[in-house]
Amino acid sequence: MATDYYAVLGVRRDAGQDEIKKAFRRLARELHPDVNPDPKTQERFKEINAAYEVLSDPQKRQVYDLGGDPLSPGGGGGAGGFGAGAAGFGFSDIMDAFFGAAAGQRGPRSRTRRGQDAMIRLEITLEEAAFGTTKELQVDTAVTCTTCNGEGAAPGTSAQTCDMCRGKGEVSQVTRSFLGQVMTSRPCPQCQGFGTVVPTPCPECAGDGRVRARRTLTVKIPAGVDNGTRIQLAGEGEVGPGGGPAGDLYVEIAETTHNVFQRRGDDLHCTVTIPMTAAALGTQVPLQTLDGPEEVDIRPGTQSGQSIPLHGRGITHLRGGGRGDLIVHVEVQTPTKLDAEQEELLRRLAMLRGEERPSGQFAPGQQGLFSRLKDAFNGR
């Protein structure tokens, strides 16, 4: 034999079938005419095809190892290249070399497929988010057609084998090229690749095996959910074509705005406004919390902007125990309109405190504008 097929593929003479196939895949990806159109490369591609045709077939390989011609009509071989007589090698091997083993899979595709997932938005209140609740949902989704039980055929009829592809789901076409005969396959145009046809579709679902219907679902909302939280209900989504398994339903939480509290994570914030006299003398302010009415203790001398935490009065932690806090922000209100008596009382208070003429003194470490300018000119 003039050609050393083992050398062509770059394998040892005792190489196994897996090693031979792996070597062929690597070379086919490098030398395929669609990748490298060089005429010399095309000749090299023909050589590796012939080598793989021989070495991948045990009978031809035995003939070759004994010194015979495995590709001659009497040598146990048929026509080379992609011909139908080439044992162990064909178009599927080339597809396998480029796209992996899945490219060689054949057969009709199933009419039964998994349904799509669905999502619905659900509005809840702040109280429901804090403590959890149970809601009933009205959902419009695809369900299995009860007339045909998902088969898609009218009652009393059934799907029949496609007479064009004979149930294979694909049709093949053989063309000739410089490499020999090439067989290509494509989905059957008559059955769309299913291998069967439905002569009389179900009048209720038009052959899809499913119809749209409204269902009522009960969903449990756990305590601590927030805006955008999604709750997965497995198997409650769209039923698949052909009565296939249903997808999942996702419930997305949308929390409505509260008229008193603002949520920041698991903490709640609110603002109470008190007069300056109450801030100076101290008082108690009634507040309706999520847990009921409580008295907020305002200590004497409370300043505007001061925060008072109420621990454990916030939102329940979604993961783990405990709750967040309720932060009460105090806003001290200064009166804008005073009658004569009120103004006189304030003036007397200011005199008693020595505040009738504010000195404009700065806190320690601070200076006025003129003091800073003076220091700059004095070189300090």
Strand partners, 123: 254
The 3-state secondary structure of 70-137, one letter per residue: CCCCCCCCCCCCCCCCCCCCCHHHHHHHHHCHHHHCCCCCCCCCCCCCEEEEEEECHHHHHHCEEEEE
C-beta of residue 69 within 8 angstroms of C-beta of residue 1:
yes
Residue 199 lies in a domain: no
Kindly indicate the confidence band of residue 97, based on its pLDDT and cuts at 50, 70 and 90.
very low
Domain of 269, in residue numbers: 262-333
Residue 133 lies in a domain: no
- Shared domain for 284 and 347, answered yes or no, is no
* Total domain count, the chain: 3
Residue 323 lies in a domain: yes
CATH of the domain at 321: 2.60.260.20
C-beta of residue 187 within 8 angstroms of C-beta of residue 193:
yes
- Shared domain for 38 and 100, answered yes or no, is yes
Kindly indicate the confidence band of residue 107, based on its pLDDT and cuts at 50, 70 and 90.
low
- Shared domain for 87 and 21, answered yes or no, is yes
Q: Which of 48-52, 153-157, 178-182 has the lowest mean pLDDT?
A: 178-182
Residue 283 lies in a domain: yes
- Shared domain for 303 and 351, answered yes or no, is no
CA distance 128 to 6: 74
In this prediction, residue 274 carries a pLDDT of: 95
Instruction: Please give the mean pLDDT across all residues of the chain.
Output: 82
- Shared domain for 11 and 84, answered yes or no, is yes
On the question of pLDDT at 14 being above 70, the answer is yes
CA distance 147 to 140: 19
Residue 126 lies in a domain: no
Report helix angle 17-31 to 39-55, nearest 10.
Answer: 160
For residue 164, give both structure tokens. 């064009």
CA distance 249 to 79: 57
CATH of the domain at 62: 1.10.287.110
DSSP summary character for residue 211: E
For 299-315, how does the pLDDT look when each residue is reduced to its tens digit (9 = 90+)? 999 999 999 999 999 99
Residue 177 lies in a domain: no
Residue 79 lies in a domain: yes
CA distance 19 to 10: 10
CA angle 14, 17, 22 (to 5 degrees): 105
- Shared domain for 272 and 358, answered yes or no, is no
Residue 28 lies in a domain: yes
